[in-house]
Amino acid sequence: MPDQYILALDQGTTSSRAIVFDHAGNIKAQAQKEFRQIFPRPGLVEHDAQEIWSTQLGVAQEAITQARLRASDIAAIGITNQRETVVIWDRQSGKPIHNAIVWQDRRTAGLCDQLRAAGKEELIQQKAGLVIDAYFSGTKVKWLLDHVDGARERAERGELAFGTVDSWLVYNLTGGECHITDATNASRTMLYNIHTGDWDDELLALLDVPRAILPEVRASSEVYGETAEGLLGSRIRIAGIAGDQQAATFGQACLERGMAKNTYGTGCFLLMNTAGEAVPSQNRLLTTVAWQFDDTRTYALEGGVFVAGAVVQWLRDGLGIIRSSSDVERLATSVPDSGGVYVVPAFVGLGAPYWDSYARGTMVGLTRGTTAAHIARAALEAIAFQSAELVSAMEKDSGVTLKELRVDGGASTNDLMMQFQADVLGVPVVRPKITETTALGAAYLAGLAVGFWKDRQEIASQWQEDRRFEPQMSEDQRRQRLGQWQKAVSRSRDWEEAEA
């Protein structure tokens, strides 16, 4: 396919992007558009699903035009998406019955408490590989069916369709022809059995979700269908789907057991490839599907930090101490250290390994000498500290000692933070030449399905190192800093009262 390209649609939490990749994995063109974040009240986060679709379609058209290509030059489309976010729509009209409920939303924390109190934690970990948390899709689906007028009855009659964002995009791209998801997205719902590779009747009954609304679960790399006439000029095959973190793991070529990557986006997500073994976590990590080819699933251990890059947005929008996100490194570098300040950005609770929905953001160690620069530096360090806790848990679970950490995402371009990450981990942190690995992973999955790339070896050979950060901190200093961090975290825990 000499003059063909792959179009990756990267539907994220704050923006929709489209990137055109060539055969060498280089970017030919890209377009991006932010969309509204809706906060009905503290702890609740929603998106307008129609706006997700319109921005995603708009940037897809823009990227093709910008690359000076026609739709016929695109060999396939790969999709990657913010995971766990829930859309329920009317099958006939295609209209959502409510705003999308976003992965960060905490409205179902009380329901999760009830499930834990009922002793369901072991069942959900064994079947779904997940802990019970408001983060996952299942409790959000139940909430919508229970709180939108008539939704449950309509769902049982088969009039409604549920999907994570990948399903919603494919449904619209194919003009309503395909109601599907892939195994990676399904594995984040609390409704899917990661061992059998299908929706699980016991989990569906537990969360009172009718099977009639569920999408069909497919492999991460296969031709699912084609775009509808009139959307992009001519019909293009849709051939790859993976949740954003799994796509980034694939794009980072972490194709062997024990390889790991960390994506620094709105949140921070660390995945370690465990090959064909779904490793059950003893340290409250998640066991998830990394990707599926044909009927063969590759698994990963995953730890999530809910607030990473979002802490920099908070410094900009909430505190007003920087004008733009890119100013944070300059401000943080203006002081030699954080001056004893620790920021715990638990704005929406804490993810792995704590899973504390009731933790809240905390700043400790403040003195009269504390400046905006110390706070900025402490905020960046918080992202690295949270990630270091995940690596430690992962090594214990898998029995694999990490040799290096591959990094990507917006904040991975911050040299100060990457050096600090290497320091608190004690292993090299490696940044690739192409940091858009989430979109690249989706492109690779789609390209493999249509023969654009030959095999996974070809993909692994394309990965190139940009910069390697070697640890420079002494073991004593590392231990002392991590100890102080854990002390700061303990101050943020269990702050909110549980809702009755």
- Residues contributing to the annotated binding site: 13-15, 17, 83-84, 135, 244-245, 266, 309, 313, 410, 414
Class of residue 350 by CB neighbours under 10 A (exposed 0-12, middle 13-18, buried 19+): buried
Tokens of 147: 């709180």
Identify the sign of the CA torsion 374, 375, 380, 385.
positive
Annotated binding site for ADP: 13, 17, 266, 309, 410, 414
Residue 305: strand pairing partners: 268
Amino acid occupying residue 278: A
- DSSP summary character for residue 99: P
Residue 46: strand pairing partners: 38, 101
Specify the residue for token string 């489309």.
77
Amino acid occupying residue 53: W
Annotated binding site for ATP: 13-15, 266, 309, 313, 410
Determine the distance from the C-alpha atom of residue 126 to the mean position of all C-alpha atoms in its chain, rounded to a whole number: 22
Residue 301: strand pairing partners: 272, 287
- DSSP summary character for residue 211: G
Residue 64: strand pairing partners: none
CA-based radius of gyration for the chain = 22
What length is written for the chain?
500
Identify the sign of the CA torsion 97, 102, 107, 110.
positive
CB 175 within 8 A of CB 116: no
Annotated binding site for glycerol: 83-84, 135, 244-245
Give the three-class secondary structure for 126. helix
Annotated binding site for sn-glycerol 3-phosphate: 13, 83-84, 135, 244
d(C-alpha 107, C-alpha 134), whole Å: 7
CB 103 within 8 A of CB 266: no
User: What contacts 324, CB < 8 A, 6 or more positions away?
Assistant: 316
